[in-house]
Each structure stands twice: as C-alpha cells, then as structure tokens.
A and B are shown apart, each in its own frame.
Chain A
C-alpha cells in the first residue's frame, strides 16, 4: 500500500463510508472542501458577500499532507465517544481548511506548526507525525498538549497544538454534532418562562416574589397591550 492509500484507509476508518461519496482523490484542488459538505448557496448574504465567499471557496492553501495532518490531529483532539462522533465526522478538518483561507494570517502558524511536528516526529521516530504509530503519536501529544509542561524544545509545538485545539473545538462545537454533545438546545422558537424549577432546586435558589410580579404572564402574551394613563398595564 502506498503512502496515499495508507492515509485514505486511515481516514476512511475514522470517517466511515460517508467519505466515499466525495472521494479523497490526490491533489489539493480536488480534495473535498467545506462547501461540498454544507450548502452555502443561501444564508442571507449580500452580493458582495457571495462574491467574497466564492473567492475563498475556490482558493487552496493546505497541501494534501498538511490537510491529512490536520485531520489526524483533529481526531486525536476529539476522538469519538460512546455518544458523540469524532472531529472528522463533524467535518472539522474541512472547517480548518476553510478557516486558513478565510484568515490568511493563520496560514504560517499552521504550516510552520505542521513542519515542526514532522521534524520533531522524525527526530524521535524517523517518520512524519501521521505515519508514526498511535503509541508514538500519543507520546508526542503528551509533550505538546499541556502548556504548563512546555520546554524550550517543545514550546513551538505547544503553541501550534493550542491553536489546533482551539480551531478543533470551535469547528466541532459549532456543528449539530457539537450542539448535541454540549446539550445546547436553543436557537428555536419557544416561550421563556424562567429557569427550570429543577435547576433552581439543585442550586437552592428561587425567584424573588416581588420581582416575579413585574414579569410577563406568558398566558397573556397574545392579549394586545393597553395601559391606563399612568402607564399601568391593563391587559
């Protein structure tokens, strides 16, 4: 199996068969992009914004090797759990691929960071990071994942990994999978009627009676407001 096939297999293993739909053909311009995963054709943009998006979508930055490294790191940062998918299942690598085109000032940090990681991995294992064994990858990870343990040798790696972690978390928790893992249940029409009683009970808290009397009676929210001349609400 050649190098590319190895990667492909590895990614397929992580991603499941969904990856097959768009393929993972060599050549950075053919790689699956964020806009292949999500429909960005209509999200309330002005003509200028649409043109700007198109420009970024058609751009390329990561080489295939860099993209693959980002993908491997994403899934080391957020592997699947019993209830939630891994980062790559939430298309975090594609998000980061987009992000470095959206924010070109990030590009050098990612490129240099990946270079550092490969150089470091080669010095320890004789291989680029993604080809190191899972065990050896973890040894390196433990050296760069904890800022308080950084040394002169690993500082650059720690800085890069912190950035990778930040972008992975943002890329993951801003997806449906991330919302579910987090328990975020907003962004939908509802009627707010205060903190749930069980939450208050757990914290031994309660609303002040005087405050509550000022608040909206949601059963009357559709009654048209009327006031007396002193501003007292009558409805």
Chain B
C-alpha cells in the first residue's frame, strides 16, 4: 500500500506512475536511490478483489459493461476516467479537435492498454532522411536496441523472429495460435499480397519469473490481470521494485501543480495538492523526473514559471507543447459468410489480436509519406452491452428478413454470433509545429491550476494515408470472401480518420533534440534549461512511428534513468 512518510529530500521525485515513471522508479531505486513517486489518482492493484473486473460476467454490471462518465471504456475496463474528468477541463481552439484520455490511477493507462509492444525500427528514428518531413531523432535504433532487449526480458513480450528490417526482432516469448477469423485473415492477406505475422504483445504466454503468473487466456488484458500475466506499470515495475528495494515512497491522490526551482533555475522538488484533504504540499528532490504523460508533463512544466524560466520550465525555445502528435486510426468491419452458424467453443485467447500486419510499403511510391500497421479483431467474444443491437440488419447481405421476433430472432442471433470481424489501421502522422497544446489563460481546474488548450488539425498526409487504408481493408476483405459492412468512409469524413488524440498515442510535446532552440530536452531527456529535470514519457518523441509508443517509452526511460544515476555519481546534477 501507499506510504505517506516523507523524507526531507529524495534523490529523485518522479511525477506519474505509468510506463515511463514506473520504469524510472524501478531503475533508480534498484540503483540505490531513494525515490518518491507521485500519482494523481488512487492506488490500484488488480490482484485486490475490490479493484477486480477480470473474469466478471456481463451481468455483474447493471449496465452490462457499458461505459459511464466515470469509466469511458466500459465498466470492466481497468482505466478510471477517460475523455472528460470532473472538475478538470481542457479546451480546444475553435476549428480544431483533440480528445485527451486521462486515467488517474496507479499505473495510469498501462492498466488497460492493448499491450501491443512494437520496437521502433531503424527507419522510424530517421524518417526525415527519407521523406524530408519533420525531424530526425537525435538518436537511432542502435542507441535504443540494448534497452529494448532489456525491456523484452524484464517485462516479457510474445512474438516471432521474422527478420523484417524495420520491425526488429527481440527476445520473444512464443505467440498463441491464430483464432479462426484470424486464419481467414491470414488467407486473405496472403492472397492480397499483404504480409501477416504473429502479433507482439506484452502478455506472458510462458513463465518469465516467479513474481508473475502465466496467461490463462481470458482475453481481458484491458481489465488488468489479477495474476500479473500482462504488463502494467504497477504490477510489473513499481510493486516488485518497492518490495525488493524498500526505496520507493508512493504518494497517491497527489496532483502535481508545478516543479519548484531555486534562484539558479534548478529544480528543488514539486508542489502538489493532496486530493484527500485538499492541502498544498511540497516534496523536495535532487532530481525531478516527469512521467505524467506527454500533455500533463507539458502542462506542469508550462505552469512552472519563475524569473529564471518566465515561459515555463524548459520552454526557453518556445517549442514546448508543440509537435503534439497522435497516431492515426481508421477501421472497417466485415462479415465472413463461412463463419455463419459456427460451432462455439472458448475462443477468448489473449487480450488482443494473435496476428497482425506490419507496414509493408516502405519501398513503394505513394501519395502520402508515412506508414501504418493493421490490427485484427473478431471472434466469439463475451456478449456485453450492445450485443444484439441491429443484428438482424445483417440479413440484408444474405437475402434474409430484417427485423422479427421470437424463434426467428434467436436463430439470427446464433447464426451471426462470431461472424463479424474487422481491421483497424494505426498509422504514423507527421508532427507539425502548428499542432500544439498551450496553457489556456482563461480556464483553471478545480484546484485553480491553469488547464491545457489544444490546437490540432490533421493534414493531407494523414487523410491520404487513411484513404489508402480504406482501400486496403476492402482488398483484404475481398480476398477473404468477406462482405464489408457499412459504407466506405470517404472524403467527407476524412476517410474515417479518428479525431486527433483519440488513438491515445499522443506524444511530442517536449521533444528531444541536439539544438536547444528547437527542442525541449537533449537526447538523454534532460531539459536543456534545467539539468536536474528529466522527461520519461512520450513527450520526448520526435516522431511517433506507426507503432504503439509504450515499449519505446520504457526503453528510453531505462536509458535516461541510468544516465541520471551516472550523472549523480559524477556529481554533475
């Protein structure tokens, strides 16, 4: 449980307990440092029955698992909160859009994420070299590879060695066998000339160590695993390190207001609001490590104004908050006629897809610059809220009768159960200076802390990429003999492109770089403007590949944490 004793001064104060903050807590404490971890939400451990949603059947929720304003991804999802938090608004500039998913709880969004754990490849760090757009990272794959290797072995990820240049192999646990709809996908994709390989998810298909269990295939990783068979920051980083080092003090319900600095402009700690009693508190540290998430970190730093840092801490360049970017996303569903009236069996599998398509057109000449991967969904899933809605409409595709009641209706429901599958695209956007978050001068949250205002528009790079993916979906469905459902998204809806932020891979607000005039941190994620402040969340990304950011956040957090230890040893901080 949380410890609220406070040391006079910590070696490091870590803001945020998600992937970046959790990894920093582990590495720093294991290196002998005393650390404080501040989390804005409550304690959470999926092994506690009072926190458990795993294995609950639909009827244990009065709304059958539907979402509520307090849990936007449904009653069974592990992430508290979502797009709107009571008393904690954010605003958007007119004519722009952004969805900001915040989960205030120990472990943050790692409790519910998709566990898709992809390494960035050599091309992903240097896209500007190939298309002239955006910026290169100041580091490359070879710099990060050793840390990816360690994350693989420390956390566990299943996958397969494929030898694809920009999809580097790692230290994989073996993947699960494909489900039935995934076998159809494999067949269709092969026929359409599109590659498909086993997925790469941080779920233990095999024993990794004695602290964690082995997957029992309930498909519910988004609910957080009570035996810790999937990755989340609390269960895999913070709890074990707390136990083994005794050097992590956890402060939950601690809403950080700002980073405090001294007359020399160096950080001395943070101030926060204890949400349990509303009091203002301070906590001192030799080093401050920001892992609050790309946008929350930018908000805290921009709100940390002083005479030495009049534009906010670390913002002498004026680029903080800029280059905010999210992954792109579109999807399409289809019905597979051969899956009608299927025999049922337990097809839950792991939480998420067993197969996927990595980006396959790096060499092709296309009308958009950056790639995407394809995620596959479907199967005999647990019926929850929404099950059966408009099911009889599917009869349209088979000369059947829409509507009805009684035995006919029961037959329809059984006939169509598990026959619909879908493909989602997740792609790389091109970071833009003009897409940014800033402090809204007119709005504060319930503690009086100025809030973020978002300014974000997609460009044609993303729209054309989405258009291409819509063609790809149909190509694959056609090769599978599947019938696409609904209308193909067209130009009027940006080809189905999800609004910025909605894919929840937002990064880039405190990007790294060698030039202090165009970046916020150096390549060790150390603020150019204050050498004892570091950023370990997705804010440091120069560009977000088509891959989910978590594995890279953790690899980089190890690298930064060890740099901190080294610099403290050398008394450089």
Contact = CB atoms under 8 A, between A and B. Distances in A.
B62 A169 contact: no
A188 B171 contact: no
B551 to A, nearest CB: 15
Interface stretch (B347-355, B500-508, B509-517): B347-355
Interface in B162-216: 169-180, 183, 186, 198, 205-209, 214, 216
B314 interface: no
Interface string A172-183: 111110110111
- Interface bracket on B: 35 or more
A190 B152 CA distance: 25
A162 to B, nearest CB: 7
Nearest to A191: B217
A186 B207 contact: no
A165 B349 contact: no
B51 interface: yes
A115 interface: no
Contacts of A231: 149, 152, 161, 169-172
- Interface bracket on A: 35 or more
A43 B62 CA distance: 10
A176 B59 contact: yes
Contacts of A211: 177-178, 186, 198
Interface in B357-386: 380-386
Contact of A216 (B59, B61, B158, B344): B158
Contacts of A199: 180, 342-343, 345
B207 A43 contact: no
Contacts of B404: 145-146
Listed residue (B59, B179, B410) with the most chain A CB atoms within 10 angstroms of its CB: B59
Contacts of B445: none
Contacts of A183: 344, 414, 417
B68 A207 contact: no
B284 interface: no
B389 A182 contact: no
Contact of B80 (A46, A77, A78, A149): A46
A38 B217 contact: no
Interface string B37-64: 0000010000001111101111111111
Given A77-B406, A195-B345, 8 more contacts: A174-B64, A174-B385, A195-B180, A211-B186, A216-B175, A217-B174, A224-B206, A225-B206
Interface of B: 42, 49-53, 55-66, 68, 70-71, 75, 80, 149, 152-153, 156, 158, 160-161, 169-180, 183, 186, 198, 205-209, 214, 216-220, 338, 342-350, 380-392, 401-407, 409-410, 413-414, 417
26 contacts: A34-B62, A49-B71, A77-B405, A84-B410, A95-B62, A148-B402, A165-B403, A166-B388, A169-B391, A170-B383, A171-B64, A174-B65, A174-B387, A179-B383, A185-B346, A192-B349, A195-B178, A196-B345, A214-B160, A216-B158, A224-B209, A225-B156, A227-B171, A232-B161, A233-B173, A233-B174
